[in-house]
Amino acid sequence: MDILQYPYVHVLVPILIAACINANINVKMNYRVSNNRFLPPGYVIGIIWIVLFGLLGYINYILYKEQKLVGYFLIILLLFLYISYPYITRKYSNKKYMDFMNRLSLIITIFISIYIFKISKKAFYFMIPVLLWLMYVNLV
Protein backbone atom coordinates (compact mmCIF):
# COMPACT_ATOMS: atom_id res chain seq x y z
CA MET A 1 0.00 0.00 0.00
CA ASP A 2 1.42 3.34 -1.10
CA ILE A 3 0.76 5.89 1.62
CA LEU A 4 1.88 8.71 -0.69
CA GLN A 5 -1.19 8.24 -2.88
CA TYR A 6 -3.31 10.08 -0.32
CA PRO A 7 -3.28 13.88 -0.51
CA TYR A 8 -3.65 14.36 3.24
CA VAL A 9 -0.23 12.77 3.80
CA HIS A 10 1.40 15.30 1.49
CA VAL A 11 -0.48 18.20 3.08
CA LEU A 12 -0.51 17.28 6.77
CA VAL A 13 3.17 16.41 7.13
CA PRO A 14 4.38 19.86 6.00
CA ILE A 15 1.68 21.54 8.10
CA LEU A 16 2.80 19.62 11.19
CA ILE A 17 6.43 20.48 10.49
CA ALA A 18 5.56 24.18 10.11
CA ALA A 19 3.52 24.11 13.32
CA CYS A 20 6.41 22.51 15.23
CA ILE A 21 8.87 25.04 13.85
CA ASN A 22 6.57 27.91 14.80
CA ALA A 23 6.21 26.52 18.30
CA ASN A 24 9.98 26.18 18.58
CA ILE A 25 10.55 29.70 17.30
CA ASN A 26 7.99 31.28 19.61
CA VAL A 27 8.72 29.24 22.75
CA LYS A 28 12.41 28.36 22.76
CA MET A 29 14.03 30.91 20.51
CA ASN A 30 11.89 33.89 21.57
CA TYR A 31 12.32 35.03 18.00
CA ARG A 32 11.26 38.53 16.98
CA VAL A 33 10.63 38.68 13.26
CA SER A 34 11.25 42.34 12.62
CA ASN A 35 10.55 45.82 13.80
CA ASN A 36 9.16 46.59 10.36
CA ARG A 37 5.67 48.02 10.77
CA PHE A 38 4.61 46.64 7.38
CA LEU A 39 5.09 43.06 8.50
CA PRO A 40 2.35 41.40 10.52
CA PRO A 41 3.06 40.11 14.05
CA GLY A 42 5.10 36.93 14.36
CA TYR A 43 2.13 34.68 15.08
CA VAL A 44 0.41 35.86 11.87
CA ILE A 45 3.56 35.15 9.89
CA GLY A 46 3.57 31.69 11.48
CA ILE A 47 -0.02 31.09 10.37
CA ILE A 48 0.84 32.29 6.85
CA TRP A 49 3.72 29.82 6.68
CA ILE A 50 1.52 26.97 7.92
CA VAL A 51 -0.88 27.68 5.05
CA LEU A 52 1.99 27.98 2.57
CA PHE A 53 3.49 24.70 3.75
CA GLY A 54 0.08 23.08 3.23
CA LEU A 55 -0.01 24.47 -0.32
CA LEU A 56 3.50 23.21 -0.98
CA GLY A 57 2.41 19.80 0.29
CA TYR A 58 -0.54 19.83 -2.10
CA ILE A 59 1.77 20.83 -4.96
CA ASN A 60 3.92 17.87 -3.97
CA TYR A 61 0.86 15.61 -4.16
CA ILE A 62 -0.05 16.90 -7.63
CA LEU A 63 3.49 16.34 -8.90
CA TYR A 64 3.59 12.89 -7.30
CA LYS A 65 0.32 11.88 -8.96
CA GLU A 66 1.51 13.23 -12.33
CA GLN A 67 4.80 11.37 -11.80
CA LYS A 68 6.88 14.53 -12.15
CA LEU A 69 9.49 13.37 -9.68
CA VAL A 70 12.05 16.10 -10.37
CA GLY A 71 9.42 18.71 -9.48
CA TYR A 72 8.41 16.61 -6.49
CA PHE A 73 11.95 16.69 -5.12
CA LEU A 74 12.36 20.40 -5.92
CA ILE A 75 9.34 21.15 -3.71
CA ILE A 76 10.94 19.08 -0.94
CA LEU A 77 14.10 21.15 -1.43
CA LEU A 78 12.03 24.33 -1.04
CA LEU A 79 10.48 22.97 2.14
CA PHE A 80 13.94 22.31 3.58
CA LEU A 81 15.04 25.82 2.59
CA TYR A 82 12.02 27.36 4.31
CA ILE A 83 12.46 25.11 7.37
CA SER A 84 16.10 26.10 7.78
CA TYR A 85 15.55 29.83 7.18
CA PRO A 86 14.59 30.92 10.72
CA TYR A 87 17.45 28.95 12.24
CA ILE A 88 20.04 30.28 9.81
CA THR A 89 18.91 33.88 10.09
CA ARG A 90 18.68 33.59 13.88
CA LYS A 91 22.29 32.45 14.07
CA TYR A 92 23.45 35.38 11.94
CA SER A 93 21.00 38.06 13.01
CA ASN A 94 22.51 40.65 10.71
CA LYS A 95 20.03 42.74 8.65
CA LYS A 96 22.15 42.48 5.49
CA TYR A 97 22.38 38.72 5.86
CA MET A 98 18.64 38.39 6.46
CA ASP A 99 17.93 40.51 3.36
CA PHE A 100 20.32 38.31 1.39
CA MET A 101 18.54 35.16 2.60
CA ASN A 102 15.14 36.67 1.72
CA ARG A 103 16.32 37.45 -1.80
CA LEU A 104 17.97 34.08 -2.20
CA SER A 105 14.77 32.32 -1.12
CA LEU A 106 12.78 34.37 -3.62
CA ILE A 107 15.21 33.70 -6.49
CA ILE A 108 15.31 29.95 -5.82
CA THR A 109 11.51 29.87 -5.54
CA ILE A 110 11.13 31.76 -8.84
CA PHE A 111 13.39 29.33 -10.68
CA ILE A 112 11.62 26.31 -9.22
CA SER A 113 8.25 27.91 -10.01
CA ILE A 114 9.27 28.39 -13.65
CA TYR A 115 10.24 24.73 -13.83
CA ILE A 116 6.94 23.70 -12.21
CA PHE A 117 5.04 25.91 -14.65
CA LYS A 118 6.67 24.02 -17.53
CA ILE A 119 5.76 20.58 -16.18
CA SER A 120 2.40 21.21 -14.47
CA LYS A 121 0.34 24.35 -14.75
CA LYS A 122 -2.11 22.99 -12.17
CA ALA A 123 0.68 22.70 -9.59
CA PHE A 124 2.02 26.13 -10.53
CA TYR A 125 -1.25 27.86 -9.64
CA PHE A 126 -0.83 26.70 -6.04
CA MET A 127 2.69 28.14 -6.10
CA ILE A 128 1.43 31.70 -6.69
CA PRO A 129 0.63 32.47 -2.99
CA VAL A 130 4.16 31.39 -2.01
CA LEU A 131 5.64 33.69 -4.65
CA LEU A 132 3.40 36.58 -3.61
CA TRP A 133 4.35 36.22 0.06
CA LEU A 134 8.07 36.06 -0.70
CA MET A 135 7.80 39.09 -3.00
CA TYR A 136 5.95 41.03 -0.29
CA VAL A 137 8.55 40.14 2.35
CA ASN A 138 11.33 41.22 0.00
CA LEU A 139 9.64 44.54 -0.71
CA VAL A 140 9.07 45.58 2.90
pLDDT above 80: residue 138: yes
Mean of pLDDT over the chain: 87
Domain count, the chain: 1
Return the HEC string of the chain: CCHHHCHHHHHHHHHHHHHHHHHHHHHHHCCCCCCCCCCCCHHHHHHHHHHHHHHHHHHHHHHHHCCCHHHHHHHHHHHHHHHHHHHHHHHCCCHHHHHHHHHHHHHHHHHHHHHHHHHCHHHHHCCHHHHHHHHHHHHC
pLDDT above 90: residue 125: yes
Q: What is the pLDDT of residue 79?
A: 93
Higher per-residue pLDDT: 62 or 29: 62
At 8, is the pLDDT very low, low, confident or very high (cuts 50, 70, 90)?
A: confident
Structural domain boundaries enclosing 56: 3-139
At 33, is the pLDDT very low, low, confident or very high (cuts 50, 70, 90)?
A: low
**Mean pLDDT throughout 69-88?**
90
**Mean pLDDT throughout 66-78?**
94
